[in-house]
Structure formats: C-alpha cells, structure tokens
Amino acid sequence: LLEANLSPWGFDVEIIEDEIIQTQGVVLGILRVFEGYLAIGLLVGAASLAMVALRSVSERIRENGIFRAMGATRSRLVGLHTLELSYVACLGLCIGMVAALVFHVSLHDLYWTDEMRPLIVPWMPMAIIAGTSLVIAGFATLPPVLSASKVEPAEALRLIEG
C-alpha cells in the first residue's frame, strides 16, 4: 500500500524486516563457516593426538614390557597411557576453549557493546563441543593404547638385551 502511494513521487519503499532477515542470513552463513573450521580443527586435533599416542607407545615398548615383567597388568598399562593422553587432550581442550571465549568476547566488544547488547556466552554448545572432542580423542587414541598393553615381558627383555 505504501509503495503504491509513494512510487509515483519517486520514493522507494523497502520493508525493514526483509533487510534484517537478509542480514541475519549472511551473519549466520559466516558463523556456519566458523563452525566448519571448528569441525576441521577438531578432526585435525584428534588425528594429532592419535599420532602422539602412537609415537608415545612405540617409543616405550621396552618400558611397557618392563612394567609387565614387574607385575603390572594390561589394564594398569592401559590406565597409565589413558591418563597421560587424557591430560594432553584436556590441556588442548582448555586452551581451545579459552581462545574461543576470548574471540567471542572480542567480537562482542567490537560489534555489540555500542548497541548495549548483553554478552551471552553459549555454555551449552561449548559443553557439547568439549564432550564430543573428548569422545573423539578417546576413540582416536584407543588403538595405540590397547597395543601398548599387549607387549609381552619376554619380548621387551629381548629388545633390551639385543
């Protein structure tokens, strides 16, 4: 109705709601790109942790065999390696979460503080990402950790003598 009445006089009528929806679509698209980078980073981090686990286990074949010869059970070795790799995973996760929070607060301060918008930290998505990261890290490091527990004491002692 407004456009019909104002068009003959040279006015251009635009609906603000359409402009807002279009802008929100662009912003959400950019955020989805960030989420994609997050997913790629998560997979690269899990692969890196798996490589660290594989190297750690392969470099300590003798030590694992000595522990087994001294009476350590396979489950004890699995627990030892799992504890070590869990520490590395949690440390990386904490560094990543702090970096994400700093980035989030910086974006808020840069774009939304002037508009008096409150800072909303997405705790639930962060918790879901953290949990998913730990599960993926656990599955990525499981094969090397299980192979560490299969070292026979006699084989490890032969490696020391040879």
Give the pair of three-digit tokens for residue 116.
């008096």
Q: Read off the pLDDT of residues 143-157 as tens digits, 9 standing for 90 and up.
A: 988 988 888 888 777
Q: Which residue has the tokens 């090397």?
A: 144
Q: How many CB atoms lie within 10 A of CB 77?
A: 23
Q: Read off the pLDDT of residues 99-140 as tens digits, 9 standing for 90 and up.
A: 989 988 998 888 878 878 888 888 998 899 889 989 998 998
